[in-house]
Amino acid sequence: MAVTLSSPLTKTLKIALIGNPNVGKTTIFNQLTGLNQKIGNYPGVTVDKKKGVMTYQGNSYEIIDLPGTYSLYPNSEDEVIVHRVLNQFSELEKPDFVLMVIDSVQLSRGLFLATQLIDLGLNLAIVLNMSDLAEKSHLEIKTFELFKKIGVPILRTDARHQKGIDQIRELIHQQNFSNPGPFIEAKEFLDTNELVDVREFFDLDNDYRAYQLLRFGLKDKGLAEEKIAWISKKLESVKTDLEAAQLEETKIRYRKISSVIQEVLVKKETVEPEESKLDKVLLHPFWGYLIFGGILLMIFQAIFAWASVPMDLIDGFFAELSSWLIETLPQGPIADLLAEGVIPGIGGVVIFIPQIALLFGFLAILEDTGYMSRVVFLMDRWMRPFGLHGKSIVPLVSGVACAIPGVMAARNIGNWKEKMITIMVTPLMSCSARLPVYIILIGLVVPNDHILGFINLQALALLGLYLLGVLGVLATAYGLKTILKTDEKSFLMVELPTYRTPRWKDVLLTMYNKSLTFVTAAGKVILAISIILWILGSYGPPTTMESIRADRDAKIAVAENPEQVEEIEREASSALLENSFIGIMGRAIEPVIRPLGYDWKIGIALIASFAAREVFVSTMATIYSIGGDPEDDATIRETLDSQINPVTGNKVFNKATAFSLMVFYVFAMQCMSTLAVVYRETKGWKWPIIQTVYMTTLAYLAAFITYQIFS
Amino acid sequence: MTADQLSILDTATIEKLQESPLKVNLMELGFLPGKKITLKHIAPANGPMAFRLDETLLALRKEEAAVIQVKLIQ
């Protein structure tokens, strides 16, 4: 990493990067700062604060990447942040200069925001990006004319092809930003006498800023309480209709911009844009959905195929590390805690990285090519009846691989209610961690037969479990839609950008940043819970535990061969688990889970797998002291199949119990990593707790019904 | 008529935007009186509609398009 500290004599200059969505702002940010980026938080909102450091000719500059927006009007959380930073409500976040990125093909829309920034009195420079696209569309922008009309420095770049980036660096270095004075005067659209005391109270020298503060100040929870109170009071006495003023401002601004554009933009010829042909297929009412389905299938295949290799390596590495620690460290509780609690806990965090990185890599490609907003267009209609948004399709689909990236992807949904519903239901999609549990249980009770000659019954059962998950998503989303309340209006209004080849560097950076965010934000919680679970699973009332160990050692002393020793050790570890605190808890919850068809041994596995579903399989292996390779499904299956209930004399894993368990795992939360991510995304424990309670309740009821049907 | 009543490939001039909380959002996207829009795609079952406005393709829900009052160009 480069040195990020500026010399103590000079203050590091802060430059805010702003622009409409899809203008290549992030590419410029990445190229200016490289890997020298930091993701932080803005107080009161879930929007990430993206900062980076640019070093140029020995100087450092702080670059703030603001969320994309069409105007200063704060409609979503993202835009509240833009509004806050640019209105300079808080000294800490105050930028010295603003670099405005405009898509050359979308000049008028870009100038709308740019002229608002000018009216705020900010020192500004404009980057006309995507000059290649403008050429393709046969547009010519007379840059010098535009400069004369607007009055701020203008650069032309093609960031995707790394053209013009050095000029941006030079411009920042020269501090070549300026403000020519208002583009339109506030008095053109409202009575500025109303603003006099606002300017006085907030000590402002600018009418437009005073108007912005009065009109939108209440939307920002970052403002000090007494200031909010003052604005509320002032709003009661304001005679001007501020909403009408905003409309008037918009009209006047666009009128003036179009007169500017007439003089600076030369349209050589009108050509039908290329994407029309592609869109005819990709947005087709039939082919469009089919292709989307095909792309999803390909992505999942790739994730399963590519993620399993690094995941096995990570798994193996941490297992090796644990056994190495056991051998190297002196025996004792510390060595045990490290080898069996901390190391597997860290491993449990790291193991998710391949899936998260791959999924976000694919999502970044879909986003970058412009295809993702087409998917939103196709799916919106089918999501809305359930209180979801077209954008909810991304988290839900990701959930089939892993709920963690799914929940993380939900932040793109602007509407609070739709975002919350999406986060709450995404973990109900059957993720890849449920698969081992499903497969073992299906293998136990569903015959490997075919019906109609070609449909495999086991495959059918598996499909049924996935569909049950989807059904759970839709039903729960519908329920939440009627419960959650919001004043925010849901809207779509999304641009379907020109198709482009993905920028691979940006894709890699997204993969890196998302993985890092997961490890740093969720890692601590996951580690803490795994250590607690390990302690509960390895300690119990000392006298019982000691006598089991003494008994084991005595037996081993008289054992005749290594096989016998192994057998004794297996039985002892099974007995130790049964008598540990988790074992005691498993017994304690037996009355509660009996109606679901479970005994206390399954209860232990349920509690132990609260951290992660896949633990169910290994815990069952320990409880039933299964020898051989615990990863081998066949051995586990055989042992489980031979378990007889001592009271009834029937098999423990009959059809009813096995199906009840499968259904339980379809709906139960049983994944602390997801919980940790929901905690991060919702900024508190309220929603993760609600989520765990409702999912567990749902799982219990559904498992109960299943057991009653099959028994 | 309003923009949601257009048929596919119809081109129309925007006359005005009707009163709605979404009015400003539509305006900032560039749906302004005098502009020409062409309906390019409609998602199935009354889904969103995609309009070409200048050089961009913009998707709106049907009820959002209903805010835009237009005059059909023959």
Q: Report phi then psi at A684, rounded to 5.
A: 170, 175
Q: What is the C-alpha end-to-end distance of chain A, expressed in Å?
A: 63
Q: How far apart are CA A666 and CA A660, in angstroms?
A: 10
Residues A457/A449, Cβ–Cβ less than 8 Å: yes
Q: How far apart are CA A42 and CA A81, in angstroms?
A: 8
Residue in A487, A404, A333 with CA at minimum distance from that of residue A679? A404
Residues A229/A83, Cβ–Cβ less than 8 Å: no
**Unique residue bearing structure tokens 């053209």:** A163
Task: Note the Cα A591 to chain centre separation in Å.
Answer: 38
Say what the alpha-carbon torsion angle A608, A613, A617, A621 is, to the nearest 10 degrees.
-10
A40 residue type, one letter: G
| Other beta carbons within 10 Å of A179 | 17
- Counting one residue from A and one from B, how many pairs have CB atoms under 8 Å apart? 103
User: What global pTM score does this model have?
Assistant: 0.83
| Other beta carbons within 10 Å of B74 | 4
User: Under an 8 A CB cutoff, do A380 and B28 touch?
Assistant: no
A492 residue type, one letter: L
Span(s) in chain A for CATH 3.40.50.300: 14-267
Q: How far apart are CA A578 and CA A561, in angstroms?
A: 26
Helix, strand, or coil (residue A213): helix
Q: How far apart are CA A628 and CA A625, in angstroms?
A: 10
Question: In the predicted model, is pLDDT for residue A703 greater than 80?
Answer: yes
Residue A470: which pLDDT band, with cuts at 50, 70 and 90?
very high
> Which among A71, A254, A381 has CB closest to B48?
A381
> What CATH code would you report for B3-73?
2.30.30.90
Task: Give burial (CB, 10 Å; 0-12/13-18/19+) of A196.
Answer: exposed
Q: What is the pLDDT of residue B47?
A: 94
Give the model confidence (pLDDT) of A476-511 as tens digits: 999 999 999 887 788 888 899 888 889 898 899 889
Residues A147/A154, Cβ–Cβ less than 8 Å: yes
Q: What is the pLDDT of residue B61?
A: 96
Q: What is the pLDDT of residue A271?
A: 62
A181 residue type, one letter: G
Question: In the predicted model, is pLDDT for residue A430 greater than 70?
Answer: yes
Give the model confidence (pLDDT) of A81-138 as tens digits: 888 888 766 666 688 999 999 998 889 999 999 999 999 999 999 999 987 777 777 8
Q: What is the pLDDT of residue A355?
A: 84
User: Under an 8 A CB cutoff, do B25 and A75 touch?
Assistant: yes
Task: Give burial (CB, 10 Å; 0-12/13-18/19+) of A7.
Answer: exposed
Strands B49-53 and B36-42: what pairing? antiparallel
Task: Note the Cα A394 to chain centre separation in Å.
Answer: 10
Say which residue, A582 or A611, is predicted with more confidence.
A582
**Unique residue bearing structure tokens 């934000």:** A521
Residue A160: which pLDDT band, with cuts at 50, 70 and 90?
confident
Q: What is the pLDDT of residue A297?
A: 86
DSSP string, A90-114: SGGG--SEEEEEEEGGGHHHHHHHH
Token output for A676: 């940790």
Task: Note the Cα A470 to chain centre separation in Å.
Answer: 20
Q: What is the pLDDT of residue A610?
A: 83
User: Most confidently modeled of A17-21, A240-244, A395-399, A688-692?
Assistant: A688-692
| Other beta carbons within 10 Å of A356 | 25
Question: In the predicted model, is pLDDT for residue A365 greater than 90?
Answer: yes
ipTM entry: 0.96
Sign of CA dihedral A196, A201, A205, A210: negative
Q: What is the pLDDT of residue A627?
A: 52
User: Under an 8 A CB cutoff, do B43 and A380 touch?
Assistant: yes
Chain A interface residues facing chain B, Cβ-Cβ under 8 Å?
Answer: 70-71, 73, 75, 105-106, 108-109, 112, 137, 139, 246-247, 250-251, 254, 273, 275-276, 279, 283, 285, 373, 376-378, 380-382, 390, 489, 491-497
> Which among B21, B30, B50 has CB closest to A496?
B50
Residues B15/B74, Cβ–Cβ less than 8 Å: no
Question: In the predicted model, is pLDDT for residue A5 greater than 70?
Answer: no
Sign of CA dihedral A633, A635, A641, A644: negative
Question: In the predicted model, is pLDDT for residue A140 greater than 60?
Answer: yes
Question: In the predicted model, is pLDDT for residue A9 greater than 60?
Answer: no
Q: Of all helices (H) and strands (E), which one includes residue A280?
A: helix A275-282
Question: In the predicted model, is pLDDT for residue A7 greater than 60?
Answer: no
Give the model confidence (pLDDT) of A35-89 as tens digits: 777 777 666 666 777 889 999 999 999 999 998 898 888 877 778 888 888 876 6
Strands A124-129 and A154-156: what pairing? parallel
Q: What is the pLDDT of residue A486?
A: 84
Residue in A697, A620, A564, A682 with CA at minimum distance from that of residue A41? A682
Question: In the predicted model, is pLDDT for residue A2 greater than 60?
Answer: no
> What CATH code would you report for A14-267?
3.40.50.300
Q: How far apart are CA A67 and CA A47, in angstroms?
A: 8
Q: How far is CA A110 from CA A18, A103, A126, A412, A450, in A?
A: 10, 7, 10, 21, 61
